[in-house]
Amino acid sequence: MGVAKRSVKKRQTAPTTAAGLITYFEEEVGGIKIRPEAIVLIAVGLIAAVIIAHVSLPVP
């Protein structure tokens, strides 16, 4: 008795946990493009401005 081999189709599918992420990052949307370094610099500048204002301006 021979064992019949079934042909297995190889499909390229993403794992179910990553499927949404891959789809999300493949979309190209319009809008403002800002580099991550600029965001960090803006955040650091804002933090510095708040600290300077807190130290130099007296609270009545």
Taking residues 15-34, what's their average pLDDT?
66
Segments making up each domain of the chain, as ranges: 34-60
pLDDT at 56 over 70: yes
pTM of the model: 0.49
On the 0-12 / 13-18 / 19+ scale of CB atoms within 10 A, 41 is exposed
Q: Which two tokens stand for residue 35?
A: 């580099």
Distance CA 21, CA 30 (A): 19
Taking residues 22-50, what's their average pLDDT?
85
Any idea what DSSP says for residue 31? S
